[in-house]
Structure 1
Amino acid sequence: MPREKEGKQKTKETPLPVVPILQNFLKTYQKHCAQTQTSVCPAIKQDLKTSINNEQILRKFILVRPDDSPPSILPISLEPLLMTIRDECYLLGKEICIWGLQLSNPEIARLASLLELKGRATCPFTTLELIDCRMDLWSLQRLGRALPCSYLHSLVLDYCRFGNEEIESIFSGLENNQRLQVLSLRYCGLGPQSGQQLGSIICQSSICELHLDGNYLQCSGALALLRPIAEYAEMQGKDQPDTRNSPQQLQAKQRASSTSNRITKPSGAETGKTASGKERRKKGIEKIKDSAGPWLVKLYLADNGIDGKGKEGENGLLEFTQILTCLIKYSAHLREIDLGNNVLGEMAATDILEALRARKTGKCPVLKITVTPQISSETFRSIWKNSKKSSITCKKKKKAKN
């Protein structure tokens, strides 16, 4: 009997370590909300309880005000959440998402300080989403200064309307950023003047996925964005025709290494590789770290007023199409372009189709491209066929594996 009691005691006293961590986190969060006279976010409370019940680590915090909450209720604030992360030393989170809130200067200052943490207390968050949030110029400048010091891999600022000064603050923090891989600025009110700055940022950083849907870059802004990327791709394609696929492979290694914030060096016994194989891998990684040039893999430019109707007229559209087709032909990195809801016209669509065929001839990776259906059905179908992987090839690969 005593042994049975001991066994029962052990099972009760040894829950998974994550459960007490999350229980303490919830208590501390509620305490900070009471102290700051703000409301507990229902989404965070629910996610914490679900994670406790399932004995799972909570990686993603979503801070959002419910649509049905009355105006008289206390506001939901970011500050209690950040204070809790600090007090509980919670290093298990990876994503922090804030939707539809008015963010004050103290809140942004605390968030920026968290992103800047280095040394023993490294900031665990690699994804920051501020969607449809309202911030003043001071807040954006403070956030911009924190970006170069952060460990963010993904930054999403969708539906945050920016003026010229506001977007400059963000752009300044993205220059020469060697960690950020995904940047999303959808429906942010960006105009043609933002194109050149974005092109420069892409060339100097590690960004490989760029979301710009719903802005107003027009032909001139999109042209300024793509020109340095296309020129680099053309130079690489013409100068090194036999090695155009190698930069894409190197980029995959870069993304994998930056995700863990370190380059792991397993022993030969663990990997089954020879010493020479390890040397080649090390040299490849060093090359990608030292090499210059844009690494853009996915580009989303849907609904950006790219047509012949702006100030540039048909000439602007022609110039944009020339640069776009150059990028399609030669870029070994690029895998996806979305140009939906931009009225390019039949002539531009035909040029895109020819560029896709030339890309296949040059043995570049398959490029998925989306264009508006406001062109002839024959051209649209041909573009679709040339921008999708062959099902025959996929079947052959499956058979070969079996």
Structure 2
Amino acid sequence: MPGKTGKKGNKKGKKKGASKKLPGRNETAEVVVKRLLKCYEKNCAFTESQMCPGIRDGMKKCIENNSLLVKFILQAPDVVVPDTPPILLDPLLATLRYERYTFIRDLHIWDYPMSYNTVASVALLMEKRFYPIRELEMMDCLLTAPHIERLSRSFRASQSLTTVSFDYNEFGDEGCYKLCLGLSGNVNVVSVSLCYCGLGVISGKLLGEMVSTTAVRDLYLDGNDLECEGVMELIQRCADMAENEAFEREEMARRKAEQEAEEEALRKTGRYSPLRGDLSMGSGTDSARSPSPSAKKKKKKKGKKKKKKEPPPPPRVGPWISKLHIANNGIDGYGKGANFAPVICMKLISSLIMNSDCFAEIDLEDNLIGDLAGRELLEALEKRAEAKLPSMKVRTTHRLNTETFSAIVKLGAGLKKKKKKGKGKKKKKK
């Protein structure tokens, strides 16, 4: 007798999710990534280079899972073996362009010495708007001011870029100027990381102007030399805006309190009648017009449609700041202004803490601010709590009065150190 053919027999041997095709393409993710891997392999053979192990393994894993690779991390090997082909970035960029791989979201390049031509290739890729790159990171890539100038020109063309990170590239104040010039008028980038880039006091003023006129609200500047003067130039406009907003909040609270007091006084005299009360005291025709409970239920049932999630609003442009990491920046009593500089600097930061409702994080670790400045910081956190503003995360040096340090930790706990990606990084040279 012939064997029974049931429904289960038809599904035998099919991969989970194998029939799902990509939107706009008549093929699955597995097919797309397979072709991408094959093209990458050919380009590496043509340029006499080896494939990046992380990217190769990521592609193979996506093929197995029938998924797309959206995060590309290219990293030079920790140990260079003699007579071994190098890992190059150009074959990867050529592969993305040839296959028109529009699913890339994040591009990370670590410990890779970048030439100007390679930087230009990355910039040209970003200028093509059908490559929706959200995050660009080039860490320890020997970038100089001309490199930064070429890259930052591409930021204006990209409508998807939100995060830029150039940590451990010592391009100095000139490179910072080129970056801020490229970011002028940008309304998409919200996070910029320039840790250990050799920035000085001048960069504080440049970054302050950039934060005030763009959508950037998260700054990671650990390991530079901004000093007290540079930090004050950076946050001056943000502190002024925060004070104005605090004044407006107080005015609104005062008007609301006056209105409530006036209503209470009218209630005591019997002359206060809210709108709902007037409607309920009307004639029978008014009550007939009001819908019955059953009609209300019907309306509720009809209205039970799933609301589509609206896209998040675009980031605000203006002098607002959310995260500020300025650890190890020479904020101490040895720079300009001697012993009073840290106190003056902390007064300005304290104004930002007390008044800004969007200020969420500040990192002041490895800065010898002193006990007086630490006390200013603590009082600002206490006033912020009294004003019932959102709690914020704070990290500061442990070289403070024990009670002050413990109170700061209690009020501003929760800030974790930024993870160092790739291999262990060297400390800042003194």
TM-score in same-fold range (> 0.5):
yes
Please name the residue that 1:177 is paired with: 186
Question: 1 CA distance for matches of 2:332 and 2:83?
Answer: 47
Q: 1:210 aligns with which of 212, 219, 228?
A: 219
Please name the residue that 1:127 is paired with: 135
How far apart are 1:56 and its partner, in Å?
A: 2.6
Matches within 5 A, 1:149-160: 149-150=157-158, 151-160=160-169
Please name the residue that 2:206 is paired with: 197
Please name the residue that 1:227 is paired with: 236
How far apart are 1:292 and its partner, in Å?
A: 4.9
CA contact (8 A) 2:328 2:364 kept: yes
Please name the residue that 2:258 is paired with: none
- Please state whether the residue corresponding to 2:156 is helix, strand or coil: helix
**Unaligned segments of structure 1, at least 5 residues:** 245-266, 274-280, 390-402
Please name the residue that 2:109 is paired with: 98
Please name the residue that 2:39 is paired with: 28
Q: Deviations over 1:50-102 (max 9, x none)?
A: 22223332121010112133154222221111111112121222111000111
Q: Deviations over 1:137-195 (max 9, x none)?
A: 43322112111222211111110111333222222112221100111111111111100
Q: 2:366 aligns with which of 341, 347, 358?
A: 341
Does structure 1 residue 165 correspond to structure 2 residue 174? yes
Does structure 1 residue 11 correspond to structure 2 residue 14? yes
How far apart are 1:18 and its partner, in Å?
A: 1.3
Q: Which structure has greater helix proportion?
A: 1
How far apart are 1:312 and its partner, in Å?
A: 2.5
Question: 2 CA distance for matches of 1:156 and 1:268?
Answer: 45
Does structure 1 residue 387 correspond to structure 2 residue 412? yes
Structure 2 counterpart of 1:26, one-letter code: L
CA contact (8 A) 1:366 1:388 kept: no
Structure 2 counterpart of 1:365, one-letter code: P
Question: 2 CA distance for matches of 1:361 and 1:327?
Answer: 15
Please name the residue that 1:270 is paired with: 306
Please name the residue that 1:74 is paired with: 85
Percent identical among aligned pairs is: 34
Structure 1 counterpart of 2:326, one-letter code: L
Please name the residue that 1:399 is paired with: none
For the structure 1 residues 380 and 53, does the alpha-carbon distance in structure 2 shift closer, same or farther, using more than 3 Å as the test?
same
- Please state whether the residue corresponding to 2:92 is helix, strand or coil: helix
For the structure 1 residues 49 and 192, does the alpha-carbon distance in structure 2 shift closer, same or farther, using more than 3 Å as the test?
same
CA contact (8 A) 1:226 1:324 kept: yes
For the structure 1 residues 43 and 388, does the alpha-carbon distance in structure 2 shift closer, same or farther, using more than 3 Å as the test?
closer
**Unaligned segments of structure 2, at least 5 residues:** 21-27, 254-302, 415-430
CA contact (8 A) 1:176 1:201 kept: no
Please name the residue that 1:301 is paired with: 326
Q: Deviations over 1:319-364 (max 9, x none)?
A: 2122111111101110111111111111011111111111112221
CA contact (8 A) 1:211 1:301 kept: yes
CA contact (8 A) 1:212 1:301 kept: yes
| RMSD of aligned residue pairs (Cα, Å) | 2.8
Moved over 4 A (4+): 1-4, 12-16
For the structure 1 residues 234 and 52, does the alpha-carbon distance in structure 2 shift closer, same or farther, using more than 3 Å as the test?
same
Structure 1 counterpart of 2:246, one-letter code: G
Q: 2:343 aligns with which of 315, 318, 332?
A: 318
CA contact (8 A) 1:232 1:293 kept: no
Under a length normalisation based on structure 2, what TM-score does the superposition of the two structures give? 0.76
- Please state whether the residue corresponding to 2:14 is helix, strand or coil: helix
- Please state whether the residue corresponding to 1:67 is helix, strand or coil: coil
Q: Matched residue pairs, number?
A: 353
For the structure 1 residues 115 and 268, does the alpha-carbon distance in structure 2 shift closer, same or farther, using more than 3 Å as the test?
farther
Please name the residue that 1:238 is paired with: 247
Please name the residue that 1:331 is paired with: 356
How far apart are 1:242 and its partner, in Å?
A: 6.3
How far apart are 1:8 and its partner, in Å?
A: 7.1
CA contact (8 A) 2:231 2:345 kept: yes
How far apart are 1:126 and its partner, in Å?
A: 0.3
Q: Deviations over 1:228-275 (max 9, x none)?
A: 11111011111333679xxxxxxxxxxxxxxxxxxxxxx9943299xx
Please name the residue that 1:367 is paired with: 392
Q: Deviations over 1:90-139 (max 9, x none)?
A: 12221110001111222211211111113xxx222100110000234433
Q: 1:109 aligns with which of 112, 120, 125?
A: 120
Under a length normalisation based on structure 1, what TM-score does the superposition of the two structures give? 0.81
Structure 2 counterpart of 1:97, one-letter code: H
- Please state whether the residue corresponding to 2:201 is helix, strand or coil: coil
Please name the residue that 1:255 is paired with: none
Q: 2:63 aligns with which of 52, 57, 68?
A: 52
For the structure 1 residues 272 and 67, does the alpha-carbon distance in structure 2 shift closer, same or farther, using more than 3 Å as the test?
closer
Structure 2 counterpart of 1:11, one-letter code: K
Does structure 1 residue 143 correspond to structure 2 residue 147? no
For the structure 1 residues 203 and 62, does the alpha-carbon distance in structure 2 shift closer, same or farther, using more than 3 Å as the test?
same
Structure 2 counterpart of 1:43, one-letter code: G
CA contact (8 A) 2:132 2:161 kept: no
For the structure 1 residues 35 and 344, does the alpha-carbon distance in structure 2 shift closer, same or farther, using more than 3 Å as the test?
same
How far apart are 1:15 and its partner, in Å?
A: 5.7
For the structure 1 residues 215 and 199, does the alpha-carbon distance in structure 2 shift closer, same or farther, using more than 3 Å as the test?
same
- Please state whether the residue corresponding to 1:370 is helix, strand or coil: strand
